[in-house]
Amino acid sequence: MTMKVITWRQDEGSVDLMQLFVGLLIISIASIGTFQSLFYGYDQLDFNMRYRSAVSIARSYVEYWQGRIHTDIDFKDRPVFSGNQGDPEVFLLDERDPTTTYDDVYCEVAYSPIIAVDHETTEGTDFYKFSVIVLWSEPNDYNGAPHQIVFSAAMVPAGL
């Protein structure tokens, strides 16, 4: 009777099949980890670029409403003072690939109701305050809540 004993390890030195498999497995896992971390880093940099764009959009919107309150607003115009959170404006936030529009990222911009602040120690309205809200969703981020930037601002009418 002949019995075959299969040994995956060899005794003569050098690399045997098991060592080769294990080595390849380790290299593969390390490579996947390295590339994943690199792409995660790039995603974060892209997010940072969009975040700065969103800040710029929010700041510009704040400037617009500060200008309006300062010089050009009808204080009896109730719809203007109630904000547009129910019907926000849409702005282009990031044009990722200039050759196509499919991957563009858009954001929603809205302002809160404009509130007249009246301190008891002074007569009449002291200033008006409001907030600007920018909302957007990151690409490939389908489950998470949208990112949000809120700028609070105040302004006095020029006549005050």
Partner 1 sequence: MNNMKTQKIIFKRDEGWTLVEAVLTIVVMAIMMLGLTIVLMAFREHLDRSWSVRVMDQYGNDVIEQLSHQLRNAVDVEVRRGRGNTHKIDIKFLDPYVHDKYNYEYWEVDTRAGKVMINNRPVDIFYPPSSPGRGESFEIVQFTMTPYGQLTPNRRERTDSYRRNENFLNATYDVRLKLRYNRNAINPGERNWSYEREYSNRVYMRNMNLVVKKGILD
Question: Does residue 45 interact with partner 1 by CB under 8 A?
Answer: yes
Q: Does 64 bind partner 1 (CB under 8 A)?
A: yes
User: 132's torsion region: left (phi>0), alpha (psi -120 to 50) or beta?
Assistant: beta
Q: Is the dihedral of CA 108, 148, 37, 45 positive or negative?
A: positive
The reply on whether position 158 binds partner 1 by CB under 8 A is: yes
- The answer to whether the beta carbons of residues 23 and 15 sit under 8 Å apart is yes
Least distance (Å) between residue 70 CB and partner 1: 6
The answer to whether 148 and 134 are in contact (CB under 8 A) is: yes
* Cβ proximity to partner 1, 77 vs 120, nearer residue: 77
Give the bridge partners for 115, in sequence order: 129
Using CB under 8 A as the binding rule, whether residue 129 contacts partner 1 is answered as: no
Judged by CB under 8 A, which of 24, 29, 32, 49 binds partner 1?
49
Among 37, 71, 101, 148, binds partner 1 (CB under 8 A): 71
Question: Measured from the CB of residue 96, what is the shortest distance to partner 1 in angstroms?
Answer: 10
| Paired residues of 154 in beta bridges | 129
Torsion angles phi and psi, residue 19, rounded to 5: -60, -40
Structure tokens at 22: 């294990």
Question: Which of 22, 44, 63, 141 lies at the binding interface for partner 1 (CB under 8 A)?
Answer: 63
Contact by Cβ (8 Å): 86, 112:
no
Q: Does the protein bind partner 1 through residue 23 (CB under 8 A)?
A: no
Q: Which residues bind partner 1 (CB under 8 A)?
A: 1-8, 10, 12, 14, 16-17, 42, 45, 49, 52, 56, 59-61, 63-64, 66-68, 70-72, 89, 91, 95, 98, 158
